Amino acid sequence: MIKSFRSRALKRFWTKSDASGLRHDWVRKIERQLTLLDSATKPEDMDVVTFGFHRLTADQAGRYAITVSRNWRLTFAFDGQDAVDVDLEDYHGG
């Protein structure tokens, strides 16, 4: 289950179905990704071929990412069986 968000736009979308803070062409994919993340009980449950699942390293160690579009990723961590600190970020900075 998703327990917490870093991104206000993702939280608003997930809890209120308000996509105003998201790119319209990403909404369907993000909805699929959040739905799967909500049912995931471990990070590896997100290892879907089209999602590009990977572990993050260095200062992001302990977090995971899946691709939304180009450099944009949905990032998250797990606390037990719950997804936490879900964010939408361009962590490549470009």
pLDDT by position in tens, the chain (length 94): 999 999 999 999 999 999 999 999 999 999 999 999 999 999 999 999 899 999 999 999 999 999 999 899 999 999 999 999 999 999 766 5
Letter for the amino acid at 82? Answer: D
> Which residues, in sequence order, are CB contacts of 39 under 8 Å at separation 6+?
1, 45
**Whether pTM exceeds 0.75:** yes
Tell me which residue of 81, 47, 49 sits closest to 64, measured CA to CA: 47
